[in-house]
């Protein structure tokens, strides 16, 4: 099972930017949905952004236009560029992958992820 390690979290002021990285321990075979979900204390887990093995992307409405997901297949690494951060973006961000062919486009995310990392904390102050 692929291991995922996130990095890049931190504390920023509202309007700032962060770039999260997710290194996979091995090549992820197609088909897959590779993305990020987040969870804040007292809130439900929510999908943030994902990209499938065909390169199609999915974004939550609340981050569309501010966050950009990308991947480097040669490095087995996923990125999440987060701009114009808001206090509501504060959460633990988890990198996750789904390898069962779940639909992963147009704002849809897997209900269950196959594996995920330990998470990286993002804190945005006002």
CA angle 46, 49, 53 (to 5 degrees): 125
Query: What pLDDT is stored for residue 24 in this prediction?
Result: 97
**pLDDT for 62-94, tens place per residue?**
999 999 999 999 999 999 999 999 999 999 999
Q: How confident is the model at residue 101 (pLDDT cuts 50, 70, 90)?
A: confident
Q: What is the pLDDT of residues 86-98, one digit of tens each?
A: 999 999 999 999 9
d(CA 49, CA 72): 16
């Amino acid at each position: 099972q692929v291991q995922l390690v996130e990095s890049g979290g931190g504390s920023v002021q509202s309007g700032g930017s962060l770039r999260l990285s997710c290194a996979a321990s091995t090549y992820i075979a197609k088909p897959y949905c590779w993305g990020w979900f987040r969870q804040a204390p007292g809130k439900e887990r929510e999908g943030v952004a994902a990209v499938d093995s065909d390169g199609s992307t999915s974004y939550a409405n609340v981050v569309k236009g501010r966050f950009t997901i990308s991947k480097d297949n040669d490095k087995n690494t996923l990125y999440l560029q987060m701009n114009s951060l808001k206090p509501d973006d504060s959460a633990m961000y988890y990198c996750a992958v789904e390898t069962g062919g779940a639909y992963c486009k147009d704002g849809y995310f897997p209900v269950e992820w196959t594996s995920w990392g330990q998470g990286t904390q993002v804190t945005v102050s006002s």
